[in-house]
């Protein structure tokens, strides 16, 4: 038995490696279409998948998002830390092993069918009920509604990589009903029916070892970290050590 600290960045890298090893992802990359919807966790996923097909050159995850949560004191318009919205590179679309650059989910969603795959991150995670949910700010539902049209309407696969730092205690179905009710204000919340992959799932998928959260928190770059209690062989410990020094996500390359 071993104990490890996983920062959010290390967790993103760990999840990305598990997604890249997923049999359904490998198959869809070979003979179908994989859509990696822009997001900070999915930036790591895109790196791992593009590396698999030898096409990582030219990809940067530092503008690979549509919306992010920043500290209230960070005035992005004044500091210039956020890249210009016009620099958004699009989602990552891999069709039959080739990265189709410059496209977004909206360019390809109507052509997706069973056997294809969408990878979409989440903003909330209920570990007890195995639920994940996405914050919605767009009046037409944004990328998640478009993704669900394919996932529910045409049985396109949906994988949801989401880090443990996004865990909540509420039932997300109940929470979404209250946040989406007439008269409520602010962002909406949409539970998603996809295959959830957390750091704990990633450890099991990659090594067969079992892990659980034993504590959480930290400072000086360890904010949002989780302490993991690991029961497994040496391979699992080596996997954790291999990603434990992943640098924190930075908006600047």
Q: Is residue 153 part of a domain?
A: yes
Q: Is residue 211 part of a domain?
A: no
Q: What residues pair up with 196 in beta bridges, in sequence order?
A: 160
Q: For the residues 38-46, what does the mean pLDDT come to?
A: 97
Per-residue pLDDT, 49: 98
Higher pLDDT among residues 250 and 30, named by residue: 30
Q: Is residue 221 part of a domain?
A: no
Per-residue pLDDT, 78: 44
Per-residue pLDDT, 253: 58
Q: Which stretch of 9-18, 82-91, 180-189 has the lowest confidence by average pLDDT?
A: 82-91
For CA atoms 125, 198, 209, 235, the dihedral sign is negative
Q: Is residue 185 part of a domain?
A: yes
Q: Is residue 6 part of a domain?
A: no
d(CA 54, CA 71): 36
Confidence of residue 73 (pLDDT cuts 50, 70, 90): confident
Strands in 157-161's sheet, in edge-to-edge order, are 98-99, 92-95, 33-36, 117-119, 157-161, 195-197
Q: Is residue 82 part of a domain?
A: yes
Number of domains in the chain: 1
How large a percentage of the chain has pLDDT more than 70? 94
pTM of model > 0.85:
yes
Per-residue pLDDT, 232: 78
CATH number at residue 176: 3.40.50
Q: Is residue 5 part of a domain?
A: no
Question: pLDDT at residue 143 above 90?
Answer: yes
Per-residue pLDDT, 71: 81
Average pLDDT, the chain: 92
Question: pLDDT at residue 52 above 60?
Answer: yes
Q: For the chain, how big is the Rg over CA atoms in Å?
A: 18
Confidence of residue 72 (pLDDT cuts 50, 70, 90): confident
Q: How far is CA 183 from CA 139, 178, 180, 186, in A?
A: 15, 10, 9, 10
Residue recorded with tokens 């959480």: 216
Confidence of residue 77 (pLDDT cuts 50, 70, 90): very low
Q: Is residue 104 part of a domain?
A: yes
Domain housing 89: 11-197
Q: What are the pLDDT digits (tens) for 160-204? A: 999 999 999 999 999 999 999 999 999 999 999 999 999 999 999
């Amino acid at each position: 038995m071993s104990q490890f600290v996983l920062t959010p960045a290390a967790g993103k890298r760990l999840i990305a490696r598990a997604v890249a090893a997923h049999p359904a992802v490998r198959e869809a990359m070979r003979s179908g279409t994989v859509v990696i919807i822009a997001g900070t966790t999915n930036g790591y996923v895109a790196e791992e998948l593009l590396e698999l097909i030898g096409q990582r050159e030219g990809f940067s995850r530092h503008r690979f998002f549509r919306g992010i949560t920043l500290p209230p004191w960070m005035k992005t318009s004044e500091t210039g830390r956020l890249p210009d919205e016009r620099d958004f590179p699009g989602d990552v679309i891999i069709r039959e092993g080739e990265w189709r650059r410059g496209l977004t989910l909206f360019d390809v969603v109507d052509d997706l069918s069973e056997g294809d795959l969408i990878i979409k991150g989440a903003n909330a995670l209920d570990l007890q009920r195995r639920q994940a949910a996405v914050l919605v700010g767009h009046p037409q539902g944004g990328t998640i509604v478009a993704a669900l049209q394919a996932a529910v309407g045409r049985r396109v696969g949906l994988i949801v990589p989401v880090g443990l730092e996004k865990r909540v205690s509420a039932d997300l179905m109940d929470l979404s009903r209250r946040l989406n009710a007439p008269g409520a204000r602010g962002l909406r919340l949409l539970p998603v029916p996809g295959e959830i992959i957390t750091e704990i799932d990633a450890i099991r998928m990659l090594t067969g070892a079992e892990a659980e959260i034993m504590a959480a928190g930290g400072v000086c770059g360890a904010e949002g970290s989780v302490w993991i209690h690991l029961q497994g062989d040496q391979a699992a410990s080596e996997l954790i050590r291999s990603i434990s020094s992943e640098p924190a996500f930075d908006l600047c390359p």
